[in-house]
Structure 1
């Protein structure tokens, strides 16, 4: 039996065999243990004698790895090269190769020898390794508008098979065109056989790319990795310059006005020329220039330009609002009652202001008087408003005149023992009152040139009382007759007694006349009655004789 085994071994070593099955392909991981099944892991034949593993050398010759006899369980390593320490076999007769490398990418054959047959099962081994790292190198800080600029270089190192690198913008693949240039490269490590893939992107940006997100994508059979690179700031030269006036809605004389020059380039320019009424001023590391306390003469056109390109410029006109106000009258103006008065307003302004007047805080029209009165006195304020500017000018009008008494009256007090004298006058300054009699009380009122002075007195005899009013301009006097309160009392009592006597006399006369009329009537009635009775007896006519009628008339007249 041993003789037969050695004979078969000799035949195997000589490369002879009866059948060779189709080649199977498996993959292993770099640095890991590769498991290569024999006959896809199917059980060996019942009459198995031994199994042998061998491989194909680079020169095409066969190299022995190990052999294991049926039912022995212990393989015999036949290899004398690198595989001697790395190969082993499991209980299913699968070949185990530890620390796999790219050198293990070759065909390994499992030879199965039985009592009736000899079969070979070749297996092609492929070793995969994912990139050890995917990194970004030479990343740009900015991109240039309309100019191919390197975005960066993406590197997928030490892989097998080599990783594939692509570029995207906003998750969409970039295709090489006039704006996109992609330069790929691959480097093979001669020691390990691993590939390092790199790809450089160049991109001509636009202003719209300021928010774009660039990314490199590493694609491998074992893993995919993405590195985001954006967004990038986009640099581009200035195409337009503008000049801004930073101030209030309107510029008022005395304001601080700032000129700000703006260019649309990125990064923004940091130096500018400002052209100020014939002056050219260079401002560095700033985009503004301030005019302090601007005057009305500063109105006009202003310009600014780039310091490195004076043709790139902009201009703005500045209009300074101003308002001067003066009156022909000021301070305290003293006039005499009855005088005329007019006020003129002098305005110097950048536009037509709105002018209004007040007197003692109440709105009035512009003062114009043909005949002044005391009531015209007061504080007059002229207000002018223009573009946020407010100016005030004022004067105080004082209308003066010597005192003039308008009335002098007397009234009996409620207690009937006193009299109240009232003297009313007009005059400015406020007049002083002087009476020619002593008095016990007084009441003084003065407003708008009108003065009233009331006194209370107790006249014990008939008097002529004078009221004198005076101020620095003159005086006025008026008198009034005042009777004694005691004499008026007696006269009033006598008048009441005479009135009573006269009343009694009148009543007596009236009563007497009434009595006489009654008596006459009675006599007349009796006479007529007797006359009617006599005529009835004699049968004479009622009218009687003419003599009797005459006697009757005489009697009536006598009565």
Structure 2
């Protein structure tokens, strides 16, 4: 019965419409309503009757849905006066709500689905006042997930003739379909034949949402090293268009080297023989190339050397290792080869050569010139030494008017100022030949020694061949040689003798080239008071001390005698005293007579001699 009544009313509506076509009703609806998937959509329908006053008493409002491209439609709602019906058995039976007022109606669709993207038709029937309907397109939007970009991991060579795959980008679960745009360093890439290709496809998920995939193919250049590629997804939302940009990915651009550099890594400074040299090669290609090292041997082909990656090690180099070295990429094109070059200089210093060699004999008074040379790749400096003391500089050493002091070993030291580690040396032994020459200028030596004392006599002579020394003694047979030493250019002899009388000793130095003599005259001085050897200076000192003591004693005795005379202790008379001034004496003798009081038996007489301190008094004693 519920369905039959609307049908009857509908038929009545058609009849009245045909009978009264002059009535007019106006209906206004938006062309489209946009809503996010899962949200509620509200579709308004406003109406107005123009040929009558107010709203007709009999008014029917119906809502229909129609799929795009279909001619059939389905009713989902009916309303007449207070009677409202949501049609059952449709997909909207439990999801719609309709509100009515004097000016219109509003349809609310809850939990919008993708299938809701269709036409919604609002029909207003005032029977005799007219019938009009309008439609609204409901649009449902689902924004995609964040775009996912994936770059190609393998390197891409610039030598590829066709564009190569660079990256893929995917935007999942969008409605309607999203669009993908590619960027290089934030600049949009426009598809270009032979340069940029973009391949785009989509997939309809089980949910009805779209997933869009895009692949970028790009003809890379060397300039693309370090470039960033990204994709941007644009999609519709209610009332706007939004975009989301992905993260960026780089591309590993492979390109051959256009420039190669070869340099010496170590050691620093100049290279000398024996050093270990490290050479390194580097090119601007990507990936970093490995290299082949070679050494130029014009006019012969280059000789390839064993190396490791971009390093060439030369152990204990010598001068023959010097020359032009090259390196080239191992995967390079021999037709258009790039290479690095460098010249390696290995410096050297040969052993010193001294002329004359080893040893040279020269006569005393002659001149000699010695040279010292060492072949070197750099400027050298030469210095001569003798016994650690510098005696000359330069390659040549001049010895003039040779003396025995000039004999010995001369060492030349050759250095390289620019490379101090290079140094060498050589030596020559100079022998000065000649007759003996006694050390010292005296031809005759005079000595005075006390009898009984031991005297050592030394005689040293220079000459080459080494002279022999012989001693000749006159006046003494008690001697012996206590020291003797002979070298290449000198001989020394020491003899010891006991002085018993005047002695003359002669030292005779001789070799096959001559002889030299020296005489020693020893005067023996006898001892006076002791068996010990007598010294004149010591005897004179003792005599002076004795004289001083005697004078002091004499003064004391004179004072005592004078004191006794004053006291009357000593009688004075012609018969009792003797005048000192009348005593027979010399200027060197003093006689003092001393007596006790009347005691004739204990008379004592003291005789003191004053001795002058000259050499005569000393000799008399």
What's the TM-score, normalizing by structure 2?
Answer: 0.60
Q: Does 1:358 align with 2:368?
A: no
Q: Does 1:104 align with 2:116?
A: yes
Q: Deviations over 1:80-121 (max 9, x none)?
A: 2333455456999752333611x2112335678999999978
Confirm or deny: 8 A CA contact 1:444 1:453 kept in the other structure.
yes
Aligned residue number for residue 372 of structure 1:
402
Alignment of 1:177-216 (within 5 A): 180-183=195-198, 185-187=200-202, 189=204, 194-216=209-231
Helix, strand or coil: the match of 1:392?
strand
Aligned residue number for residue 157 of structure 1:
172
How far apart are 1:269 and its partner, in Å? 4.3
Aligned residue number for residue 371 of structure 2:
344
Q: Mean Cα displacement is larger for which, 273-282 or 214-223? A: 273-282
Name the CA shift for 1:284/1:97 in 2 (closer, same or farther; >3 Å): farther
Q: Does 1:397 align with 2:417?
A: no
How far apart are 1:383 and its partner, in Å? 1.2
How far apart are 1:165 and its partner, in Å? 1.9
Q: Does 1:480 align with 2:520?
A: yes
How far apart are 1:128 and its partner, in Å? 0.7
Query: Among 413, 418, 425, which residue is 1:382 paired with?
Result: 413
Helix, strand or coil: the match of 2:89?
coil
Aligned residue number for residue 576 of structure 2:
none
Helix, strand or coil: the match of 2:405?
helix
Confirm or deny: 8 A CA contact 1:213 1:229 kept in the other structure.
yes
Aligned residue number for residue 285 of structure 2:
265
Q: Mean Cα displacement is larger for which, 84-93 or 234-243? A: 84-93
How far apart are 1:163 and its partner, in Å? 2.0
How far apart are 1:153 and its partner, in Å? 2.9
How far apart are 1:303 and its partner, in Å? 4.7
How far apart are 1:387 and its partner, in Å? 5.8
Q: Does 1:63 align with 2:103?
A: no
Structure 2: where are the runs of 5+ without partners?
Answer: 18-23, 47-54, 528-533, 545-621
What's the TM-score, normalizing by structure 1?
Answer: 0.65
Query: Among 30, 35, 48, which residue is 2:41 paired with?
Result: 35
Name the CA shift for 1:412/1:89 in 2 (closer, same or farther; >3 Å): farther
Aligned residue number for residue 228 of structure 1:
247
How far apart are 1:386 and its partner, in Å? 7.3
Name the CA shift for 1:344/1:490 in 2 (closer, same or farther; >3 Å): closer
Name the CA shift for 1:23/1:329 in 2 (closer, same or farther; >3 Å): same
How far apart are 1:76 and its partner, in Å? 4.8
Aligned residue number for residue 141 of structure 2:
128
Name the CA shift for 1:340/1:412 in 2 (closer, same or farther; >3 Å): same
How far apart are 1:359 and its partner, in Å? 3.2
Alpha-carbon distance in 1 for matches of 2:67, 2:134: 17
Aligned residue number for residue 554 of structure 1:
none
Name the CA shift for 1:356/1:50 in 2 (closer, same or farther; >3 Å): farther
Structure 1: where are the runs of 5+ without partners?
Answer: 498-559
Query: Among 82, 91, 109, which residue is 2:91 paired with?
Result: 82
Aligned residue number for residue 503 of structure 2:
463
Alpha-carbon distance in 1 for matches of 2:11, 2:460: 162
Confirm or deny: 8 A CA contact 2:29 2:45 kept in the other structure.
no
Q: Deviations over 1:435-490 (max 9, x none)?
A: 968799x9999999899999998856433344566899997542232223447967
What is the aligned residue count? 484
Give the superposed CA RMSD: 5.5
Q: Deviations over 1:279-303 (max 9, x none)?
A: 5555698455555554444554455
Q: Mean Cα displacement is larger for which, 124-133 or 79-88? A: 79-88
Q: Deviations over 1:190-244 (max 9, x none)?
A: 9766444444433333433322222112122455333334332322233345554
Confirm or deny: 8 A CA contact 1:403 1:474 kept in the other structure.
no
Q: Deviations over 1:2-41 (max 9, x none)?
A: 99x95896379979894412326432223x143325569x
Name the CA shift for 1:434/1:217 in 2 (closer, same or farther; >3 Å): farther
Name the CA shift for 1:316/1:417 in 2 (closer, same or farther; >3 Å): same
Confirm or deny: 8 A CA contact 1:55 1:108 kept in the other structure.
yes
Q: Deviations over 1:166-203 (max 9, x none)?
A: 22222333345688524253546397664444444333
Alpha-carbon distance in 1 for matches of 2:122, 2:451: 159
Helix, strand or coil: the match of 1:350?
coil
Aligned residue number for residue 10 of structure 1:
10
Alpha-carbon distance in 1 for matches of 2:467, 2:125: 151
Query: Among 330, 335, 348, which residue is 1:322 paired with?
Result: 348
Alpha-carbon distance in 2 for matches of 1:217, 1:209: 20
